[in-house]
Amino acid sequence: MKVSTQETVRTVGIGAGAKELATEDMTLNIGPQHPSTHGVLRLRLTLDGERISRAEPIVGYMHRGAEKLFEVRDYRQLIVLANRHDWLSAFANELGVVLAVERMLGMEVPERAVWLRTLLAELNRVLNHLMFLGSYPLEVGAMTPIFYSFQEREQLQRVMEEISGGRIHYMFNRVGGLKEEPPAGWTDRARRAVGEVRGRMGRISDLIMGNEIFRARTRGVGVLSPEQIRQYGVSGPIARASGVDFDLRRDEPYLAYSELDVRVVTRTEGDCLARFECLLDQVHASLDLADACLDRLAELPPGPINQRLPKVLKVPEGHTYAWTENPLGINGYYLVSRGEKTPWRMKLRSASYNNVQVLTELLPGNLVADMIAILGSMFFVVGDIDK
């Protein structure tokens, strides 16, 4: 049966030819290869003039089947896969896997390894946030901040590279602890790097937060309500910028967070500016936690950094769920074992996947020009979406 309608949809690039009626919508594809998207994310927008009336994020262009690959790797080899989906948070990605395996084994990790893991997790969080603190202003027209943020990133990258040997994919976690002892004098160099980065963060803050154009492009734009946050399972700095005061490090502590005073940064406005402010303040909070970890490590007596493992590591039959507060939000790891040396199932819940789904509700009603500012403020990594 033929159904008549008063709406004509015009697809850009295909050509006109549609009869002009009372209203005419345009379908516009942003991506999957587009400078305003972080990698190969595709947005299918329906426009009414310059205003977005419908938005659909289309994901999967970088899907590599990581969860199936988990099933044919032993528990030591899982780490090399798990640290790659969010390439800005590799150390944090590794943590969730080893925590799940250690819980299944009933394994207690040496205290020094617990504190060192916590320190490295916070340094990795700062590295992640500095990337977005530099790249987001670039998307709304400010070029200079990215040079400052990369200078600070390089300071911390040297510290991470010295201890792990890697700049992006660290591969420093092991089931039962960490790969090896830090180099001699590493903690002093780490403390010095943390102090220098903290001392120069004011340059980035002053440069961006005092910029009237940046504030005009972000204030009151892309507002997310707490109800939308909860409905879509949005987490991390994006959720806290809308007043959802939840952070696993404080509310469901793991590693050494139960012994630390975790300051959770929140805002209530829920707009692009609030999300950026949360990220900026979180850098200072994480640097404070890093200093606290270094202080605790200085007090601990010498001891092992890992546990001795059998040549073939088998996990008892059962299942568990471990979740961590990754830099971009909550990551969850559901591990099912049948007593073999490989997992029967390893399900990964990544922060970015849930966070971008809310774009379906967030973008409609906004101008196309504001879409770039909104998309950048969601702080996602496409690999973390597609896995």
Predicted local distance difference test score (pLDDT) of residue 106: 93
Output the tens digit of pLDDT for each of the chain's 387 residues: 444 444 445 544 444 444 444 457 888 888 776 555 556 888 899 998 889 999 999 888 888 888 999 999 999 899 988 888 888 999 999 999 999 999 999 999 999 999 999 999 999 999 999 999 999 998 888 889 999 999 999 999 999 999 999 888 999 999 999 999 999 999 999 999 999 999 999 999 999 988 899 999 999 999 999 999 999 999 999 999 999 999 999 999 999 999 999 999 999 999 999 999 999 999 999 999 999 999 999 999 999 999 999 989 999 999 999 999 999 999 999 999 999 999 999 999 999 999 999 999 999 999 998 998 999 899 998 888 888
Non-local (6+) Cβ contacts of 370 within 8 A are 217, 221, 222
Report pTM.
Answer: 0.89
CATH 1.10.645.10 domain position(s) in the chain = 66-386
Question: Is CATH 3.40.190.10 the classification given to domain 66-386?
Answer: no
For residue 303, what are its two tokens?
A: 């001891």
Predicted local distance difference test score (pLDDT) of residue 20: 47
End-to-end CA distance of the chain: 42
CA contacts within 13 A on the Cβ side of 205: 14
Provide the pairing of β-strand 7-11 with 23-30: parallel
Non-local (6+) Cβ contacts of 209 within 8 A are 215, 277, 280
The 3-state secondary structure of 216-285, one letter per residue: HHHCCCCCCCHHHHHHHCCCCHHHHCCCCCCCHHHHCCCCCHHHCCCCCCCCCCCCHHHHHHHHHHHHHH
Contact 154, 301 (CB under 8 A): no
Predicted local distance difference test score (pLDDT) of residue 134: 92
